[in-house]
Amino acid sequence: MWRCILILLLVTVTSVSADARYRHFHSTPYFYEPFSYEPCGGPFQGPCITEIPFPFGETLQVTVETVPSQADSAKYQKPDHDLDTISDLFAQLRSCWSPPTADSAREGMQMSVRFSLNRSGSLIGPPRLTFATAGASTDTRTTYLDAINASLNACLPLKLTDGFAGALAGRPIAIRYVDNRELKKPGAQQ
């Protein structure tokens, strides 16, 4: 009789502690094992995903074309208010771009830079070059990097709302500049 009571007590304690461990595991903000999902009931039998991941990732990335398409022309309009969203930030950065003159430009040139802003909307440090089109000469790279720095410096400091400034400060921003103009080739007839 005592054996049955002891076994029953042991099974009860084990199941209670397992249940407590399960609740503790799922109630903590940091899980012990990544991507631990439970199957959903009902017609959907796959994993239950409770959060939608942030769509922009860690780095805020934007592409700036020298000649935007008709569909994207609205995205290149400078906002007339303090920046409060990522879309506003991207529109401001797109509207600031001043490409090099056609005589010193290279058709199809692409260059990417990465930088961060502080709470006042100024650069934390100089933009870091992360990509340039292969085969571009040093002079062409310097010309485009100078144009990028001049465009950013003319645009800064950005006017950010207090809440957006706190969320944006220190986050990496990557801008890919694409010179998609059709440039005349030297010696080509007009």
SS3 sequence, 131-144? EECCCCCHHHHHHH
* Same domain, yes or no: 6 and 72: no
Residue 58 confidence (pLDDT): 67
CB 60, CB 158: distance < 8 Å:
no
DSSP 3-state of 22: helix
* Same domain, yes or no: 38 and 101: no
DSSP 3-state of 28: coil
Residue 2 confidence (pLDDT): 75
pTM over 0.75: no
* Same domain, yes or no: 95 and 152: yes
183 in a structural domain: no
DSSP conformation letters of 67-126? S--TTTGGGGSPPSS-B-SHHHHHHHHHHH--PPPGGG--TT-EEEEEEEB-TTS-BSSP
CB 170, CB 178: distance < 8 Å:
no
Separation CA 156–CA 77 (nearest Å): 16
Task: List per-block mean pLDDT (blocks of 10 residues) for the chain, which spans 190 residues.
Answer: 76 56 47 46 48 56 90 89 93 94 90 95 94 93 96 94 93 93 65
Residue 13 confidence (pLDDT): 60
* Same domain, yes or no: 5 and 45: yes
* Same domain, yes or no: 33 and 85: no
* Same domain, yes or no: 101 and 144: yes
C-alpha distances in angstroms, 38 versus 20, 44, 93?
Answer: 17, 12, 43
* Same domain, yes or no: 142 and 69: yes
Best CA proximity match to 121, nearest among 170, 174, 62: 170
Residue 90 confidence (pLDDT): 93
143 in a structural domain: yes
Query: Hey, which residues does 64 pair with through a beta bridge?
Result: 177
* Same domain, yes or no: 121 and 42: no
103 in a structural domain: yes
* Same domain, yes or no: 89 and 150: yes
Length of the chain, in residues: 190
* Same domain, yes or no: 120 and 76: yes
CB 156, CB 93: distance < 8 Å:
no
96 in a structural domain: yes
Range of the domain at 90: 60-178
Look-up of token digits 């290149």? 76
36 in a structural domain: yes
Best CA proximity match to 51, nearest among 62, 41, 36: 36
138 in a structural domain: yes
The total domain count for the chain is 2
